[in-house]
Amino acid sequence: MSLELNVDNLVKSFGQRKLFHVDQLRVGEGESLHLSGENGSGKTTLMKILAGLERPCSGRVMVTPKARRWWSDRIHPQVIYLHQTPYIFSGDVRDNVAYGLRLRSYSRRDVKLKVQQALAWARLEHLAEQPAYALSGGEKQRLALARAWILAPSLLLLDEPTANLDQHSVRAVSELVTQLLDKGTTVMVSSHQKNAVTDLCGRRLHLENLALQELGNAFSNELNNEPELKYYVQH
Contact residues for another protein (CB under 8 A)?
Answer: 48, 51-53, 71, 73, 75, 77, 79-81, 83, 85-87, 89-90, 99-100, 103-104, 133-134, 147-148, 151
Minimum CB distance to Mg ion smaller for 44 or for 162 = 44
Chain residue whose CB lies nearest ligand ADP: 44
Tell me: cis bond preceding 65? Omega within 30 of 0 counts. Answer: yes
Distance CA 151, CA 129 (A): 21
Minimum CB distance to Mg ion smaller for 163 or for 229 = 163
Cβ atoms of residues 133 and 90 within 8 Å: yes
* H-assigned helices in the chain: 43-50, 93-103, 108-121, 137-149, 167-182, 227-234
Taking CB within 5 to 8 Å according to partner kind, which of Mg ion, another protein, ligand ADP, none is near residue 37?
ligand ADP
Please, what is the minimum distance in Å from the beta carbon of residue 137 to ligand ADP? 18
For residue 235, CA distances in Å to 45, 202, 228 come to: 22, 19, 11
Minimum CB distance to Mg ion smaller for 32 or for 44 = 44
Taking CB within 5 to 8 Å according to partner kind, which of Mg ion, another protein, ligand ADP, none is near residue 138?
none
Distance CA 212, CA 199 (A): 20
Taking CB within 5 to 8 Å according to partner kind, which of Mg ion, ligand ADP, another protein, none is near residue 130?
none
- Looking at residues 35 to 94 of the shown chain, list those that interact with Mg ion (rule: CB under 5 A): 44
Most distant CA atoms of the chain, gap in Å: 56
Taking CB within 5 to 8 Å according to partner kind, which of Mg ion, another protein, ligand ADP, none is near residue 133?
another protein
Count the Cβ atoms, other than its own, within 10 Å of residue 220.
9
Minimum CB distance to another protein smaller for 99 or for 232 = 99
Minimum CB distance to ligand ADP smaller for 114 or for 192 = 192
Residue 195: partners with Cβ closer than 8 Å, 6 or more residues away: 162, 170
By three-state DSSP, how is residue 110 classified?
A: helix
Taking CB within 5 to 8 Å according to partner kind, which of Mg ion, another protein, ligand ADP, none is near residue 39?
ligand ADP
By three-state DSSP, how is residue 156 classified?
A: strand
Positions in the binding site for Mg ion (CB under 5 A): 44
